[in-house]
Amino acid sequence: MTPTQSPPILAIVNQKGGVGKTTTAINLACYLAEFGHKTLLIDADPQANSTSGIGLDQAQLTHSLYDILMDPHTLEQALCPSPFPRLHVIPGHQNLASIDLDIGRMVSRETRLKDCLTPLHSFYDFILIDCPPAINLITVNAMVAATATIIPVQCEYFALEGLAYLTQTQVLIRENFNPNLDLLGILPTMYDARTSLNRQVIANIESVFPNQVFSAIPRNIKLSEAPSHGLPVQLYAPKSKGAKRYQYFTQEVLHRVQQATA
Ligand SMILES: Nc1ncnc2c1ncn2[C@@H]1O[C@H](COP(=O)(O)OP(=O)(O)OP(=O)(O)O)[C@@H](O)[C@H]1O
Ligand SMILES: [Mg+2]
């Protein structure tokens, strides 16, 4: 029997904190589901912001990604329905903070997440992984499991330096574990067109990564308010600029994924 082909598995990565990874993961997941795609959002961050931002109550959850990485047999218990049709979540948990120590000595420590996800390939059209702000064993597991990365960057002076380090890491992952890992694109976030530095940073990133930069997401208050209501922006403020730009970004993602698999 031939194994089921992997759906697109998109790791949303940047070792820098606060650049919009979780905001991107939540809103991309919800728009993909709204467009009719069965989607799984994996919260790989001990801060578990995707889990709460999507409206799940940590106190009600019995299992998380931590349990799956420790014991793959817990996969079914950790798969949670979300408040939204076609969207499931594997929650994050603060235990993930010690995962480097806990799985560091285990066999195939870098491929544990990839191996866990294989039985899910036929159930989802998209799998998204919201990574923590670090290049640690969890992020390595995410990049080994992924078919492609999306890199959100804040349009500020040090963005390119961070990107250089991240793309070097991606090369190492390709060479050692996952030769097909693609860069789906770089997503400028919290963009303010009035600021010349913001415009300059995007121009610099485009010159180093031609045709790989998504249309920027503007700084928008509704995007920052939505998580405190446990809602994606498409429900919290569907007419806001932030909602419209994440909807457009989701269409760009669908287009790039189709191009990559054509
Ligand atoms: N486009 C935006 N406009 C306004 N606020 C935003 C936007 N994107 C993200 N934010 C806010 O910026 C903060 C950081 O965003 P987010 O949590 O998505 O980043 P992150 O990269 O996941 O952070 P961490 O590295 O800590 O996981 C949050 O308070 C979020 O609500
Ligand atoms: Mg986050």
Whole-number Å distance, alpha carbon 244 to ligand 2 midpoint, is: 21
pTM over 0.95: yes
Q: Which residues of 16-52 are buried (b: 16+ CB within 10 A; e: fewer)?
A: beebbbbbbbbbbbbbbbbeebbbbbbbbbbbbbbbb
Q: Which helix (H) or strand (E) holds 185?
A: strand 182-189
Question: Tell me, what's the pLDDT at 260?
Answer: 87
* Closest ligand to residue 18's CA: 1
Question: Tell me, what's the pLDDT at 159?
Answer: 87
The closest-lying atom of ligand 1 relative to the alpha carbon of residue 14 is: 21
Whole-number Å distance, alpha carbon 188 to ligand 2 midpoint, is: 15
Return the best residue to mutate from 12, 15, 22 for the ligand 1 pocket (most ligand atoms within 8 A of CB): 22
pLDDT, tens only, 43-87: 999 999 999 999 999 899 999 999 999 999 999 999 999 999 999
Whole-number Å distance, alpha carbon 204 to ligand 2 midpoint, is: 25
Residue 19 token pair: 């650049």
Whole-number Å distance, alpha carbon 38 to ligand 1 midpoint, is: 25
pLDDT, tens only, 173-226: 999 999 999 999 999 999 998 999 999 999 999 999 999 999 999 999 999 999
* Closest ligand to residue 28's CA: 1
Residue 98 token pair: 């010690």
pLDDT, tens only, 131-186: 999 999 999 999 999 999 999 999 988 888 889 999 999 999 999 999 999 999 99
Domains along the sequence of the chain with CATH:
9-261 (3.40.50.300)
The closest-lying atom of ligand 1 relative to the alpha carbon of residue 190 is: 1
pLDDT, tens only, 91-135: 999 999 999 999 988 888 999 999 999 999 999 999 999 999 999
Question: Tell me, what's the pLDDT at 3?
Answer: 60
